[in-house]
Amino acid sequence: MYTASDLRKGLRLKLDGDPYQIVEFNFVKPGKGQSLYKCKLRNMITGAQFERTFRDVDTFEQADLRERKMQYLYKEGEQYCFMDIENYEQVFLTDEQVGDVKNFLIENMEVAILFFEDRPIGVTPPNSVDLLVVQSEPWAKGDSVSGNYKPVILETGYKILVPPFVNEGEKIKVDTRSGEYLTRVKD
Amino acid sequence: MSEDCLGRKREALWLRSRIIQSIRRFFEGNDFLEVETPCRIPAPAPESHIDAVASGEWFLQTSPELCMKRLLAAGYPRIFQICPCFREKERGGRHLPEFAMLEWYRAGADYNDLMRDCEEIVRSVCREVLGSKSFLYQGRDISLEGPWPRISVRDAFFQYAGTPMEDALKKGLFNELMAFSIEPKLGIGRPVFLYDYPVELGALAMAKRSDPSVAERFELYIEGIELVNAFSELVDPAEQRSRFEKEMACRAAAGKAVYPFPQKFIDALPAMPPSAGAALGLDRLVMLFADKTEIDDVVAFPPEEL
């Protein structure tokens, strides 16, 4: 159980049966008045956002959210398939649930699957992943539009800016939180 | 990391220091005694929505009000204090759980006199610290030329919330409408006094002689920021006791801690002259003059940095 004073940006809680995350948080208290907590909440299943103001007497259920380590197997149609390496149980996420993480998913990669109660609702990749450069324009000094970087395409289809010395067929390390190039990987 | 952050606050911290010095000069020039009362007290004033931080068997002050009034009662007619105050779980863009309060009291005065004090203090600090009669806040020029406009709480509800104040109170919407519909509109481009609050919302304020449904209480707003809370002081011990008992009952009903009754304060009230007192959030005054929107930017150490 949470009380209103536990509310803060990033907190996850259960409202009307669904898990929500607080994406914006504002504490206000008119002179000598009641504490008010104005929150923007994002539904962790549908992605829908709404605003609600809570009072100091309000209490909240914790959302039963757990992460399990699983392996990404394959994509079929709109479904991404993941498997628990210990008991071989398989779960599926939709395109929408996977979202931008698709840019970093390669087969057999170990990821964290987020479950709300017993239902898979999202995936978090490792903080950095190594991905192969499959397409790179030859770089001529001086013709770059964005300073010392050039665009390349990775094995997942993700388009990213890298330094000019990175070549097709090489692997690079990518920060999955910012989506940016980190370093070149030597095998 | 936090040392970098401290370095970036240099300008705001210098301004803060000059503002405090300027405030002291104002009160010294007006024959006020600067006092210090204990931060750690056995019995904070019982108010429904102000929660004290426990300190052993005692509490950290939520304001220096009760001790300062005992000084008034003992014959110190003009007193001021700049001190830290502590309010549990108040944290936001304009709230710190430990904040700096400027509090001052005048014997023989009422809330109208303190509105004049507010104008003079803000004007004189602006002149001394920024060297001007106006200041820039978030791209807007704030004129301090007086007298500043005044609007009653009742009129503000009509004008900005479209709801009679009494209805808002009955429906339990007073705070929401105040916070989201009224406050953001107050003091834009020019300070404004919001005055005559419902009597039940000021446990230590005197009821207005011509309309006992409201208290002689005002708040000063600049650019939607609540800067000062002030009132003509309630000096009737029986009335004060019954107001405190009501607040204590409210706290108990809401499942909040009920503090020991401040008996020594009540005992001192018969000797207290008619007076008025004001509390100014010093950090917020610095926010305004430093052109900052976050209270964290005008103190060296917000609690998360400790």
Q: Which of A62, A81, A98 is the last residue of a domain?
A: A62
| Residue A115 lies in domain | 65-124
What average pLDDT does this structure show over B91-99?
A: 95
Question: Per-residue pLDDT tens for B147-168?
Answer: 999 999 999 999 999 999 999 9
Q: Are residues A39 and A70 in the same domain?
A: no
Please tell me the distance from the alpha carbon of residue B111 to that of residue B209, in angstroms, as a whole number. 12
pLDDT of residue A186: 82
A12 DSSP assignment: E
Check if A34 contacts B (Cβ < 8 Å).
yes
The average confidence (pLDDT) of chain B is 96
Q: Considering Cα of B280, then B281, then B286, then B292, what sign does the dihedral take?
A: negative
Q: What is the CATH number of the domain that holds A36?
A: 2.30.30.30
Q: Which residues contact B211 (CB under 8 A, 6 or more apart)?
A: B196
Name chain B contacts of A53, Cβ cutoff 8 Å.
Answer: 176, 180
Check if B65 contacts A (Cβ < 8 Å).
no
pLDDT of residue A139: 64
pLDDT of residue A148: 77
Check if B178 contacts A (Cβ < 8 Å).
yes
Per the CB < 8 Å rule, is A34 touching B175?
Answer: yes
Partner residue facing B49 (CB), from A27, A28, A34: A34
Q: What is the CATH number of the domain that holds B276?
A: 3.30.930.10
| Residue B116 lies in domain | 2-305
Check if B229 contacts A (Cβ < 8 Å).
yes
Tokens of B146: 């007086």
Q: Closest residue of B to A25, CA-based?
A: B92
Check if A32 contacts B (Cβ < 8 Å).
yes
Question: Per-residue pLDDT tens for B5-60?
Answer: 888 999 999 999 999 999 999 999 999 999 999 999 999 999 999 999 999 999 99
Closest to A21 measured CA to CA, from A51, A41, A49: A41
Closest to A55 measured CA to CA, from B171, B96, B244, B172: B172
> Which residues does chain A have with pLDDT short of 50?
none
Q: Are residues A136 and A89 in the same domain?
A: no
* Burial class for A47, CB neighbours closer than 10 Å (0-12, 13-18, 19+): exposed
Partner residue facing B95 (CB), from A27, A34, A56: A27
Q: B19-58 burial, b for 16+ CB within 10 Å, e for fewer?
A: bbebbeebbeeeebeebebebebebbbbbbbbbbbeeeeb
Q: Are residues A82 and A55 in the same domain?
A: no
pLDDT of residue A143: 56
B97 DSSP assignment: S
Partner residue facing B178 (CB), from A33, A56, A57: A33
pLDDT of residue A146: 54
Name chain A contacts of B219, Cβ cutoff 8 Å.
Answer: 31
Name chain B contacts of A36, Cβ cutoff 8 Å.
Answer: 175-176, 179
Best mutation target among B51, B63, B89, B195 (most A Cβ atoms within 10 Å) is B89
Give how many domains chain B has, as a whole number.
1
Q: Are residues A77 and A118 in the same domain?
A: yes
Q: Are residues A51 and A81 in the same domain?
A: no
Q: Are residues A69 and A120 in the same domain?
A: yes
Please tell me the distance from the alpha carbon of residue A19 to that of residue A13, in angstroms, as a whole number. 6
DSSP codes joined into one string, B125-179: HHHHHHSSSEEEETTEEEE--SSPPEEEHHHHIIIIISS-HHHHHHTT-HHHHII
Question: Per-residue pLDDT tens for B161-208?
Answer: 999 999 999 999 999 999 999 999 999 999 999 999 999 998 899 999
pLDDT of residue A142: 59
Q: Are residues A71 and A116 in the same domain?
A: yes
* ipTM entry: 0.86
Q: Are residues A112 and A154 in the same domain?
A: no
Check if B253 contacts A (Cβ < 8 Å).
no
pLDDT of residue A147: 65
Q: Are residues A180 and A139 in the same domain?
A: yes
Q: What is the CATH number of the domain that holds A139?
A: 2.40.50.140
Q: Which of A124, A147, A165 is the last residue of a domain?
A: A124
Q: Which of A15, A43, A62 is the last residue of a domain?
A: A62
Please tell me the distance from the alpha carbon of residue A92 to that of residue B60, in angstroms, as a whole number. 54
Give how many domains chain A has, as a whole number.
3
Check if B252 contacts A (Cβ < 8 Å).
no
